[in-house]
Amino acid sequence: MKKTHLLLFILLQFFSQSISAQIQYTNPILAGFYPDPSICRVGKDYYLVNSSFSYFPGLPIFHSTDLVNWQQIGHALDRNEQLDLSNAGVTRGLFAPTIRYFDSVFYIVCTLIDKKGNFIIKSKDPKGPWSNPIWLPEINGIDPSLFFDDNGKAFITYNGNPPDNKSLYSGHRTVRINEFDVKKMKVVSKSEILVNGGVDISKKPVWIEGPHLFKKNNFYYLICAEGGTGTDHSEVVFRSDSAKGPYLPYKSNPILTQKGLDKNRENPITSAGHCDFVETENGKWYSVFLACRPYEGDYYNTGRETFLAPVEWNNNWPTIKTNNGLVDYKYEVPFPEKTNRNSNIYTGNVVFKDSFKAEMLSFHYALLRNPSKDLYKIDTKKQKLIFPLKPTTVSEKDNPDFVGFRQSNLKCNASTSLVFSAKTENEKAGLLIFQNEEHFYFFCKSIRDNKSIVEVYKSSSKDSSKNELISSAYLKEGNSPLQLKIVADNANYSFYFSENKEKYSLLKTLDAKFLSTKEAGGFVGCMFAMYATSNGITSSNMASFNWFRYQGNDDLFK
* Catalytic positions: 36, 209
Residue 160 burial class via C-beta count within 10 angstroms: exposed 0-12, middle 13-18, buried 19 and up = buried
Element (H, E) at 21: helix 2-21
Indicate if the alpha-carbon torsion angle 15, 557, 301, 416 is positive or negative: negative
Element (H, E) at 235: strand 234-240
How far, CA to CA in Å, does 311 sit from each of 205, 255, 320, 366, 371?
A: 24, 10, 5, 33, 41
d(C-alpha 288, C-alpha 277), whole Å: 7
CA angle 419, 425, 426 (to 5 degrees): 90
All residues at 6 or more sequence positions from 166 whose CB lies less than 8 Å from its CB, including other chains: none
Strands (DSSP E) contained in 23-140 are: 24-26, 38-42, 45-49, 55-56, 58-64, 71-77, 94-102, 105-112, 117-123, 134-135
Adjacent-strand bridge partners of 509: 494
Longest pairwise C-alpha distance within the chain: 88
DSSP-derived secondary structure for 313-379: EETTEEEE--BTTBPPSEEE-S-TTT--S---TTSSS-EEEE---SSS--TTEEEESSPPTTS-EEE
